């Protein structure tokens, strides 16, 4: 026994030593490769959301760890979440590595949130046949409602910039003005930090104007128009950019390009934080728990329900949701389940569907992250169909004859076990019963059950 133990111990020690040697060699190789001058290239394609922020932050961390001279982000986005965009710009402004935002390939755009990212980057570049602009903030449910303030009472922002138009159209609330002025101040501060056209930036926020790549270069909105990454690195060489700790001159002529493409983590986060997927996970989670509670021990619905519900709650934590809408959805689902468990001839069901649809429409507060109306309609139709099926099922069951209990025995036939005139015994469903008859019967006769009184059957010859 001791020899086997010693052999096993030696094997484990040898395995650990080999593993340590392999890790040391990999670390040395990483250090050697990290010593070479390089540019790390990221790709952002689609709406700016929580998954994009996570990918961007990991890219910055990777560039810092491997000692990259610059990080380039190829950008093609229709816009995205305001808070997520601000977080990304904050990381960019405080980074110790220059970040170049490059709108690419041809035909790409940096609309809305993408314009803010361009203005916040140390180097703003575009490929030919691309455009940027339309940076007006849009909130579907997070701002004040029209009519909560008017243009006469609301004071203009002191940071709105030079020549800011303080006149507002009728019906624009004070909250909407605050959001607009805050966005103007933010993008002007970014433009002033990097020496770019602040007046056009304000116009893009207030009036949603756009510019092509050549127009943006001419108006000092961007720094470079480049055909590809190599061309961008060549034109960036020798530029002076403003970093958190002062100015820095870029040396990018001979940098080696390394890719940091979105991996499975980014794909999973993008999938989970998709509003339609998160919404669907919420529905699956709720019904899974209901089915588990209605039939304990089945395990499968409960397991799927808990996992789906936790994933949905994680997504809602990072998505801009309206909590009133979420509450309406939960109330609607509860009412529809109540209709199935305690039929109210449609009162609970109709109310539940109405609350569910209204809550689903109100749920998301973002222009670019919203639940598909066909999905809302489809889920509502399926729920309505289940409620209708439940009602018709209960109505059908009420007309069916009883299959259990005393009612089921009435009208059935029993076999007489002995001759008797008043009281005797019969066999019914394999059981021996006391019986009372209104006419003499003989052994082996079949009699019909009239009613049941306790454990005694009242029978009569057929």
In the chain, % of residues over pLDDT 90: 35
Cα–Cα distance measured from residue 130 to residue 127, given in angstroms and rounded to the nearest whole number: 6
Dihedrals φ, ψ of 335, to 5°?
-65, -40
DSSP structural state of residue 427 = E
- Digit-coded pLDDT (tens) for 88-111: 999 999 999 999 999 999 999 999
User: Cα dist. 389→78, 220, 344 in Å?
Assistant: 43, 65, 14
Distance CA 181, CA 159 (A): 7
Which of 4-8, 164-168, 259-263: highest mean pLDDT? 259-263
Contact 134, 210 (CB under 8 A): yes
Q: With beta carbons less than 8 A apart as the criterion, state whether 39 and 252 touch.
A: yes
pLDDT of 397: 60
Domain 405-460 in CATH 2.40.50.140: yes
Tell me the CATH number of domain 31-262, given options 3.40.50.1820, 3.80.30.20, 3.90.226.10, 3.40.50.1100.
Answer: 3.90.226.10
pLDDT tens figures, 149-189: 333 333 333 333 444 444 444 445 787 888 899 999 999 99
Cα–Cα distance for residue pair 87/314, rounded to 1 Å: 19
Residue that wins the pLDDT comparison between 289 and 129: 129
**pLDDT per position as a tens digit, 31-87:** 334 446 899 999 999 889 889 999 999 999 999 999 999 999 999 999 888 889 999
For 421, the 3-state DSSP assignment is coil
For residue range 241-259, what is the model confidence (pLDDT) as tens digits? 999 888 999 999 889 999 9
What is the predicted pLDDT for the residue at 122?
A: 95
pTM: 0.65
* Contact status, residue 112 vs residue 79, Cβ threshold 8 Å: yes
* Confidence (pLDDT) at 77: 93
Tokens of 354: 């109405």
Give dist(CA 63, CA 97) in Å, integer: 8
Instruction: Look at residue 203 and give its three-state secondary structure.
Output: helix
Average pLDDT, the chain: 79
For the cut 80, the answer to whether the pLDDT of residue 147 exceeds it is: no
The pLDDT of residue 315 is 84
The three-state secondary structure class of 163 is coil
- 199: confidence class by pLDDT, cuts 50, 70, 90: very high
How are beta strands 446-453 and 456-460 bridged, if at all? antiparallel
Max avg pLDDT among 54-58, 265-269, 272-276: 54-58
pLDDT (0 to 100) of residue 26: 45
Alpha-carbon distance 130 to 110, whole Å?
A: 8
Taken in order 257, 262, 264, 269, is the CA torsion positive or negative?
positive
400-411 tens-digit pLDDT? 555 555 666 777
């Amino acid at each position: 026994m001791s020899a086997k133990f010693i052999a096993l111990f030696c094997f484990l020690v040898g395995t650990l030593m080999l593993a340590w040697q392999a890790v040391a060699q990999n670390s040395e190789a990483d250090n050697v490769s990290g010593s070479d001058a390089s540019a790390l290239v990221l790709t952002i394609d689609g709406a700016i959301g929580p998954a994009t922020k996570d990918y961007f932050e990991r890219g910055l961390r990777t560039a810092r760890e491997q000692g990259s001279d610059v990080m380039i982000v190829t950008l093609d986005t229709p816009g995205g979440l305001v808070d997520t965009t601000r977080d990304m710009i904050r990381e960019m402004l405080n980074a110790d590595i220059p970040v170049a935002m490059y709108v690419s390939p041809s035909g790409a755009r940096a609309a809305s949130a993408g314009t803010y990212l361009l203005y916040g980057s140390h180097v703003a570049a575009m490929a030919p046949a691309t455009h940027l602009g339309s940076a007006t903030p849009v909130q579907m449910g997070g701002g004040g409602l029209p009519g909560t303030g008017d243009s006469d009472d609301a004071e203009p922002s002191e940071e709105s910039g030079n020549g800011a138009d303080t006149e507002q159209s009728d019906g624009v609330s004070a909250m909407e003005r605050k959001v607009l002025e805050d966005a103007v101040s933010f993008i002007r501060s970014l433009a002033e930090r990097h020496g770019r056209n602040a007046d056009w930036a304000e116009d893009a926020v207030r009036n949603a104007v756009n510019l092509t790549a050549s127009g943006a270069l001419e108006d000092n909105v961007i720094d470079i128009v480049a055909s590809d990454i190599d061309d961008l690195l060549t034109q960036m060489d020798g530029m002076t950019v403003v970093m958190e700790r002062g100015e820095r001159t870029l040396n990018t002529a001979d940098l080696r390009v390394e890719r940091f493409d979105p991996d499975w983590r980014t794909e999973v986060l993008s999938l989970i934080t998709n509003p339609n997927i998160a919404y669907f996970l919420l529905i699956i989670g709720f019904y899974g728990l209901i089915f588990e509670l209605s039939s304990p021990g089945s395990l499968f619905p409960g397991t799927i329900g808990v996992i789906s519900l936790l994933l949905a709650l994680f997504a809602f934590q990072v998505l801009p949701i309206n909590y009133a809408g979420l509450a309406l959805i939960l109330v609607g689902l509860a009412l529809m389940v109540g209709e199935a468990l305690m039929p109210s001839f449609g009162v609970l069901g109709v109310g539940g569907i109405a609350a569910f649809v209204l809550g689903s429409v109100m749920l998301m507060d973002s222009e670019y992250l919203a639940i598909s109306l066909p999905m809302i309609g489809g889920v509502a139709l399926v729920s309505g169909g289940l409620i209708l099926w439940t009602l018709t099922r209960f109505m059908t069951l009420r007309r069916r004859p009883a299959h259990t209990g005393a009612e089921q025995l009435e009208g059935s036939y029993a076999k007489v076990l002995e001759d008797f005139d008043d009281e005797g015994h019969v066999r019914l469903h394999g059981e021996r019963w006391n019986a009372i008859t209104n006419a003499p019967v003989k052994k082996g006769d079949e009699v019909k059950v009239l009613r049941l009184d306790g454990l005694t059957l009242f029978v009569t010859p057929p």
